[in-house]
A and B are shown apart, each in its own frame.
Chain A
Amino acid sequence: MAEKNNSIGRLIITLTVIGALGALFLAGVYEWTIPHILEHEARARERAIMEVLPEADYYEEVTHNDQIFYEGYDENDNFVGVAVSLRGGGYAGEIEIMIGTDPEAREIINIFILNHQETPGLGARITEEQFRENFENAPFSELEIVRRTPEEPQEIEAIAGATMSVEAVKNIVSRVGDIVSEYYGGGS
């Protein structure tokens, strides 16, 4: 360590130089990595959209009033459904869900959990196929959580030990009906 020359000027210069070099280096890192990061995000989103709109061949992004809608079309350019990504509070943090819907039938086609921070082994089971199947063909209305095998389409089977996470998913998915019906008014 340099003991002499500890003038205020030298202290400030040292810190500024280190900070500036660090910032410069990070600016380069950012330029280098950000295309990859954005690409991963886009690919994850695309996979989710294809998952929740299984009949779609391609999709188009449409923005209504700040909400992005992903309109799915099959190979003959027929409209097969619309997906939206909604977020809401879960047990441990925010949950982000891609929800595919059929506005004509006023039904949910499927859901896909994009992001969550739920407890592994408990709340995290919301990402499992078995849980997501609950939402297939669920109607555009308030959904219900039941502690048995679901019999009605609006019923969602609870996961033991993950009451809060299931409740959170249900609340987020229940919002989709109103949002989609507003712009895709089918079925009325």
Chain B
Amino acid sequence: MDSLQYLLLLFISTVLINNFVLIQFLGICPFLGVSRYVETAFSMGLAATFVMTMTAFATYFINTFILEALNLEFLRYMSFIIVIASLVQFVEMFIKKVSPVLYKALGIYLPLITTNCAIMGMALLIPMNDYNFIESIIFGFGAGVGFTLAIVLIAGLREEAQYGDVPRDLKGMPITLILAGLMALAFMGFAGLAVV
């Protein structure tokens, strides 16, 4: 099953067909909270993609070699959240040291990522779907790309909607949710692309 074609399908399916935000409802908080401008949305997406790929890597090992090997499944949620929180902390320190420019762009979004349920959701889906190592990495990376795609698209729409004549009570969150609903309907059109 590890053929290149299969992995490519898994990637496409994670990015488009099962888009984390629009189809699986994961990562809604940052999706609505940090999507006012395309530029910041893109930075948030980038940071999340990076952390998600790293998390996929780390949780695969922890789940396979510690939790399942030692029969400690009841500590799964606890260990995953610790991994994510420490990874975010580590990434923050690393970026600060290596690239101050990037740190300036991403800095304030990094702590927010800890409570981004897309990351926890992705970590939990890996053992649920029995993904192997390569699949886990592709899945984590694809989930991040899908998140970035959704958040950048909605930011683009919101920038336009600012100038639209939106009814008073729909301004802000409600109109954003409606835009997201229309995007979700559009994304359902990808369903025919592949079966994984």
Contact = CB atoms under 8 A, between A and B. Distances in A.
A35 to B, nearest CB: 14
Contact of B75 (A26, A89, A163, A167): A26
B74 A26 contact: yes
What is the size category of the interface that chain B forms with chain A?
A: 10 to 19
Interface residues of A, number: 16
B78 A23 contact: yes
B170 interface: no
Contact of B78 (A19, A30, A89, A92): A19
Interface in A1-38: 19, 22-23, 26-27, 29-30
Contact of B74 (A27, A89, A93): A27
B129 A94 contact: yes
Contacts of A145: none
A164 B78 contact: no
A150 to B, nearest CB: 22
Contact of A93 (B73, B129, B192): B129
A22 B78 contact: yes
Nearest to A29: B74
A168 interface: yes
Contacts of B129: 93-94
B195 interface: yes
Given A26-B74, A27-B74, A89 B196 contact: yes
Contact of B195 (A19, A23, A27, A164): A164
B191 interface: yes
B195 A167 contact: yes
B55 interface: no
Query: Which secondary structure dominates chain B's binding surface?
Result: helix
Nearest to B130: A94
B18 interface: yes
Contacts of A27: 74
B138 to A, nearest CB: 14
A23 B75 CA distance: 7
Given A167-B195, A168-B195, A92 B18 contact: yes
A29 B130 CA distance: 25
Closest 9 CB pairs of A and B: A30-B74, A26-B74, A89-B196, A164-B195, A23-B75, A167-B195, A94-B129, A164-B191, A168-B195
21 contacts: A19-B78, A19-B82, A22-B78, A23-B75, A23-B78, A26-B74, A26-B78, A27-B74, A30-B73, A89-B195, A91-B195, A92-B18, A93-B128, A93-B129, A94-B128, A94-B130, A163-B192, A164-B191, A164-B192, A167-B195, A168-B195
Interface of A: 19, 22-23, 26-27, 29-30, 89, 91-94, 163-164, 167-168
Given A30-B74, A94-B128, 19 more contacts: A19-B78, A22-B78, A23-B75, A23-B78, A26-B74, A26-B75, A26-B78, A27-B74, A29-B74, A30-B73, A89-B196, A91-B191, A92-B18, A94-B130, A163-B192, A164-B191, A164-B192, A164-B195, A168-B195
